[in-house]
Structure 1
């Protein structure tokens, strides 16, 4: 039987994703930095607060975040673990509705406002159309998420960002998949006067051939596409029922399994 493992697009083994909350004015500068270095971000927005204080106005959202992901953060940013279920449902569903009118695609992810969640909320989210949600519980590691509704990031950008970036770049063992997931709030760069930090980070990790730059939902969709692959019992061929290509390492050879196709992975007969 061949040894088959998932890789990222193009046979890569590393993915970088960025996650920023609240949709405030400093996102303009952050998006510009991401775009210059080929980095993708997911921006979690409270649509009920558009244009209040220094938040991005509604009419600017679609163009500003083009090429990135617009994601939910609840309507008005309550501490949802303390909210009744009626309010919880309203906050998430209405945020989705508002953002979907702007984005013109289905909003399927979120980050927990104030980092607030519990097991009940996690159980409820799939019924509200939410497929992943990010916590504020940094791990300092580069592993893939075990629970997409309790998706723990690698780090906040103020916590050893450049050291972790260097560790990430140095990783080389291809028997593993590595994910660096950075989160924060763009206005913190204003408050801390450290825009140079994110600029240095993006310049260092950006535009590298060995890294897949993805939004949160792109990672989710890719993981699910891999899990939906239909392998023969001896793993000699595979059918991809999704529309998305999936890349596999088969005995250390890279195969692209295009959406809607079946391919042969090895022609060797299965032996006893």
Structure 2
């Protein structure tokens, strides 16, 4: 009977995603870098603050983030763990509704403003339609998938040995594992630290590679959840995909696509 591994789309075993907060005007330069190198990511936006100070307007945000993901960061960026739950509910739902009105897609993820959350908040989020939430903690260079989507730790902040981690990530080759590199930060930090060349070098190093899937946060969540829905015969002779999206498998070294709604022989 065959040995079977889940793969990322097109049979890839590495994925890269980026995560940037606050909807600041420096996102314009950051998105240009991403788009030039084929890198994709998620932008966590405080919809109640759009147009204030150095933040993008609503119209600018809609135009800028095409091809990326807009995600909840609460309407006004409070420290959630210090807030009554009524306020937490309002901040998350108002931000979600505002972003959905602007971008015309269901918004199902977030990052915690100020990195603040609690178990009670985590328990609440699925009831508000939130399927993942990014923290400010990191895995210190680890490239695994999260055990808890509502406590999602990035690989690193961009000021934490980014190029060193990128070099390691690019060199990963053991296809029995799924590797994810996840970078987070704020675009205004590049202006503050005068280090835009760091992100330029990073994206040039990791962009445009055939073995990397360039995805938004929610695309990774959706794909991994779809994998859990795959129905495999006890004999491993065939697989049935009851979902709508394709799933890719490595079957004894052969890459096999299982399209949505189909049954595919594996041997």
TM-score, with structure 1 as normaliser: 0.97
- Find the aligned partners of 1:204 and 1:119 in 2 and give their Cα distance: 38
| Cα drift, residue 74 of structure 1 | 0.4
Q: Name the residue aligned to 1:153.
A: 154
1:4 positional shift: 1.2
Which residue is 2:72 aligned to? 72
How many Å separate the matches in 1 of 2:60 and 2:121?
31
For 1:234 and 1:121, locate their aligned partners in 2 and report how far apart those are by CA, in whole Å: 42
Structure 1: which 4+ aligned runs deviate by more than 4 Å? Answer: none
Corresponding residue number in structure 2 for 1:237: 238
Matched, 1:57 2:57: yes
In the alignment, which residue of structure 2 is the partner of 1:179? 180
CA–CA separation in structure 2 for the residues paired with 1:196 and 1:149: 32
- Counterpart secondary structure, 2:153: coil
> Is it true that 1:36 corresponds to 2:36 in the alignment?
yes
Q: What TM-score does the superposition give when structure 2 sets the normalisation length?
A: 0.98
Question: In the aligned structure 2, how far is the partner of 1:189 from the partner of 1:81?
Answer: 28
CA distance in 2, matches of 1:19, 1:151: 11
Distance 1:197 1:157 in 2: 8
1:269 corresponds to? none
Equivalent residues in 2 for 1:118-133, closer than 5 Å: 118-133=118-133
Determine the C-alpha separation between the residues in 2 that align with 1:102 and 1:257. Answer: 34
Corresponding residue for residue 109 of structure 2: 109
1:191 pairs with 2:192 = yes
What residue in structure 2 maps to residue 48 of structure 1? 48
**Structure 1 residue 261 displacement after superposition:** 0.8
| Aligned equivalents of 1:216, 1:42: Cα separation in 2 | 6
C-alpha RMSD of matched pairs (Å) = 0.7
d(CA) in 1 for partners of 2:147, 2:205: 28
Deviations 1:57-109 (A, max 9, x none): 01111110000000000010000011101000000000000000111100000
Alignment of 1:16-31 (within 5 A): 16-31=16-31
Gaps of 5+ in 2: none
Gap regions ≥5 residues in structure 1: 267-272
The aligned residue for residue 137 of structure 1 is 137
- C-alpha distance in 1, partners of 2:236/2:46? 45
Q: Distance in 2 between matches of 1:244 and 1:8?
A: 12
> CA–CA distance in 2 between the matches of 1:234 and 1:170?
35
- Counterpart of 1:208 in structure 2 is 209
> What CA deviation, in whole Å up to 9, does each residue of 1:152-201 have, x standing for no partner?
00000000000000000111111111000000000000000000000000
> Paired residue for 2:13?
13
